[in-house]
Amino acid sequence: MESLMDLQGVFVTGTDTEIGKTTVSAGLLRAWARQGLRTAGYKPVAAGTELREGRRVNDDVERLRAASSVPLAPQEACCFLLDEPCAPHIAARLAGVRLELAPLLTGARALMPRCDRLVVEGVGGFRVPLNENEDTADLAVALGLPVVLVVGLRLGCLSHALLTAEAVCARGLRLAGWVGNQVDPGMAHREDNLATLTDLMRRRFGAPRLGVVPRLPRDEADAVASHLDLGVLSA
C-alpha cells in the first residue's frame, strides 16, 4: 500500500473512546491555522448520526469541518458515515457496507494537495476493527503519518497511555507527541500523574507533551488551541 509519508500532518489516536480525540484534533487544526497554514480535518470512519435540517450528520465530523481552514464538504471530511453509534465494523454490517482501507486512503489523498496540515482522526482507541482482517492500526500504518496520542486524564490513564504508545511504536510509526485531556475533573493526584507520563513518554518513546487541555466552559477549537504547543512536536 502506498504511503503518505510526504504529507505533512498527523494521525490522532487515543487511549480509549470518548477521551477527546475530536477536541484535540480540532485544536490542532486551529493552532496550525493560526500559523497561516491551510488545515483540513479528516475522520475516515464515523459511527453515530442524527438528523439535522434534513441531513444525517455526525458531531465529530462537523466539528472537524468547522475547525478546518479549508472548506470541506461532508463527504470530503468523512469517507464512511455510519448511523449506528457502535463499533465501526458492527455499524458497517448493520448498514450493509464493508469497511476497506483503499477508500479511506483515497479520501486522505484527495485532501493532500489542498492543505499544508492534514489531521486524520482515528476511531476509538488505536486498534479498533474495521473488518475481520484489518483495524485502525493498519490504517495508521498505511497513512504513514506521525501519531499524536490523546490521553484521557483519569484513573488508569498511565497504563492505557503506555500500552498504546508501545503499540504505536511496534507498528514502526513515529509517536510525535501526546496531549493530556481532562476527562475526569476530580482526578486525584493529577499533577503527579502528568509528571509520570511526561517523563516516561519522553524517555521510553521520545514523545514530548504537546499540552494539557483542562475542562473548558465551552469546547471550542480556538480555546483548545491555546493549550497546545506544537513547537515541541518530535522531529
C-alpha cell read off for 206: 521520545
For 136-147, the DSSP string reads HHHHHHHHT--E
- Catalytic residue, chosen from 21, 30, 43, 190, is 43
Q: Which uninterrupted H or E stretch holds 225?
A: helix 221-225
Give the burial string for 132-156 (b: 16+ CB within 10 Å, else e).
Answer: eebbbbbbbbbbbbbbbbbbbbbee
Q: Does residue 21 carry a catalytic annotation? A: no
Comparing C-alpha atoms, which of 129, 128, 111 is closest to residue 120? 111
Using only C-alpha atoms, the chain has a radius of gyration, in whole angstroms, of 17
Residues annotated catalytic, as ranges = 43
